[in-house]
Amino acid sequence: MFKRVLIANRGEIAVRVIRACRELEIETVAIFSDADRAALHVREADFAVPVGPPPATDSYLRIDRIIEAARRTGAEAIHPGYGFFSENAGFARAVAEAGLVFIGPPPGAIEKMGDKVEARKLMTAAGVPVVPGSPDVLETEAQVRAVAAEIGFPIMLKAAAGGGGKGMREVHRGEELASALRAVIGEAKSSFGSSRFYVEKYLNRPRHIEVQVLADTQGHTVHLFERECSIQRRHQKVVEESPSPFVTPAMRQAMGAVAVRAAKAVGYVSAGTIEFLADADRNFYFLEMNTRIQVEHAITELVTGVDLVKEQIRIAAGAPLPFKQADLTQRGAAVECRIYAEDPENGFAPAPGKIATLRFPDGPGVRVDTGVYQGAEVPIHYDPMIAKLATWGRDRGEAIDRMRRALDEFVIAGELRTNLDLHRWLMRHPQFLGGEYDNNFLEKEYRPPTEESLEGERLAAILMAAAAAYKNHSAPTGVKIMALQPPASAWKIAARLDLLRR
């Protein structure tokens, strides 16, 4: 086993990997940009190395500095987390060339699955069903129109190098095509450095269902059942659950077998996810493979009992999988809510800032993964996801009951805003409770709640708290509620000093 591992990431996933390492008694090396000196992943690591200024391209995306940090600290392996370099074959190769171990799939598998068009071809050849669409990369608007004429609107325009919900647009009518194409090409260039794109049929009431796989270096490949991720906004997952309420036992078995076949077709090793789209008739089509650990891996861990990150590390160290397919079962059900620093009243625009107060839920069946803490500043430079809240229950109903309870216990306030209210709304929505939803559910159904009209004792209590806090802060006239100076203003000073220093 490795003695020391560098984590080329930040936020909750870096903390998650640190926890896995610590359970394996492996020392950890964090890297950090100047914006993250006091971030949780740095505080929790054994070693930490600065890698540059806040913009990711100058720090978390600097191969040279990351490799140098690993060398300097004597790390033997690098875990890429998700995002950043996790699906970058060039990075994986550079790690290997530096004599280090990349905790993830072989570069060849990353490449084969990374180009979405090539992956479609490969999967078709391996007998894996794919979504109808353009057989190859397209280049012009005219080509798109030709494909659309064949498969019919609505269609999806997708960057060939895309992933994570970026570089894609759905087009419902010919008139929307031109602007959507410009947006996809623009995002593809800026996010992935490649403007290649292709077209897929946009399915009727599609559901996003994916299958987790694990493969070791000895040729064993297993699947760990499915996750349903159809609760999305702008093609970004917001809530996931496992098992899917939509998947039948027969469908589950078929999807698992196809997922294993897909992984084997590219010689896959490590943890990975085969994403499928399912239509209303329970046909399912290969969408893409995520050749990394995923944000939503926790719910699979809760249901199967397998620690996916520890398995990734063990596999990278050459260990065989400690279980066979037949040893794996789903127990109960799990739900995950992604907590974003964003403003629901402002089109879910990122709303980062200082976290003045933070209380996490806990107790039976609740798991929180986070990269923040009370007093932390959520930087503007990175992904606005600040925590993942997952719950487990003996059945789906109990998992949701617990999620409702956990969301109620989750208190966060400060400069930032969050989407907690969306989750609270969702966990009471009859369609979600009935498992009756598809990828369009959130876009169709969710409207930011109008502020509740407060009255009676609740209003009185809120006014009292406000008066107490205000009084405490303002000049010491009249009623003196407490000898305590609230630290909010002191924090602000500290925050400003920090800002000046950067």
Partner 1 sequence: MRYIATIAGQDHEFEVEQTGEQNSFRLRLADNRYDLDLRRAGPSSFSILIGDRVFDFEVTGEGEDLAIASREGVTRIVISDLARRAATSRSARAAQSGRAEMRAMMPGRVVSVLVSLGDEVATGAGVLVIEAMKMENELKAPKSGKVIEIRVVPGQTVEKGELLVIIE
Residue 264 in the binding site for partner 1 (CB under 8 A): no
From 249, 347, 363, 456, residue interacting with its own copies (rule: CB under 8 A): 363
Rounded Cα distance, 337 and 420, in Å: 9
Distance of CA 385 to CAs 79, 115, 382, Å? 20, 26, 9
Helix segments in 317-440, DSSP class H: 396-409, 420-426, 430-433
From 326, 363, 452, 476, residue interacting with partner 1 (rule: CB under 8 A): 452
> 19 or 220, CB closer to its own copies?
19
**Which residue of the set 252, 292, 396, 402 is catalytic?**
292
**Among 279, 275, 213, 225, which Cα is nearest to 440's?**
279
> 447 or 501, CB closer to its own copies?
501
The pattern of x and - marking residues 457 through 486 that bind its own copies according to CB under 8 A reads -------------------------xxxx-
Residue 3 in the binding site for its own copies (CB under 8 A): no
CB of 332 to its own copies, least distance (A): 6
Residue 360 in the binding site for its own copies (CB under 8 A): yes
From 99, 219, 305, 435, residue interacting with its own copies (rule: CB under 8 A): 305
Residue 433 in the binding site for its own copies (CB under 8 A): no
Distance of CA 106 to CAs 92, 93, 115, 309, Å? 7, 8, 15, 17
> 113 or 403, CB closer to its own copies?
403
**Among 6, 2, 1, which Cα is nearest to 79's?**
6
CB of 290 to partner 1, least distance (A): 18
Residue 332 in the binding site for its own copies (CB under 8 A): yes
Rounded Cα distance, 91 and 84, in Å: 10
Residue 368 in the binding site for its own copies (CB under 8 A): yes
> 67 or 265, CB closer to partner 1?
67
Rounded Cα distance, 499 and 496, in Å: 5
Residue 376 interacts, among partner 1, its own copies, none and using kind-specific CB cut-offs from 5 to 8 Å, with partner 1
The pattern of x and - marking residues 396 through 425 that bind its own copies according to CB under 8 A reads --x--xx-xx--xx----------------
**CB neighbours of residue 378 within 10 Å:** 26
Rounded Cα distance, 166 and 168, in Å: 6
Residue 292 a catalytic site member: yes
DSSP of 199-237, one letter per residue?
EEE--SS-EEEEEEEEE-TTS-EEEEEEEEEEEEETTEE
Site for partner 1 in 185-244 (CB under 8 A): 186-187, 191, 234
Side chain identity, residue 249 = P
Identify whether the C-beta of residue 154 lies closer than 8 Å to the C-beta of residue 170: yes
Rounded Cα distance, 180 and 197, in Å: 12
Residue 343 in the binding site for partner 1 (CB under 8 A): yes
Residue 307 in the binding site for its own copies (CB under 8 A): yes
Contacts with its own copies by CB under 8 A lie at 15-16, 19-20, 22-25, 44, 298, 301, 305-307, 331-332, 359-360, 362-370, 373, 394, 398, 401-402, 404-405, 408-409, 482-485, 487, 490-491, 493-494, 497
Catalytic residues: 292
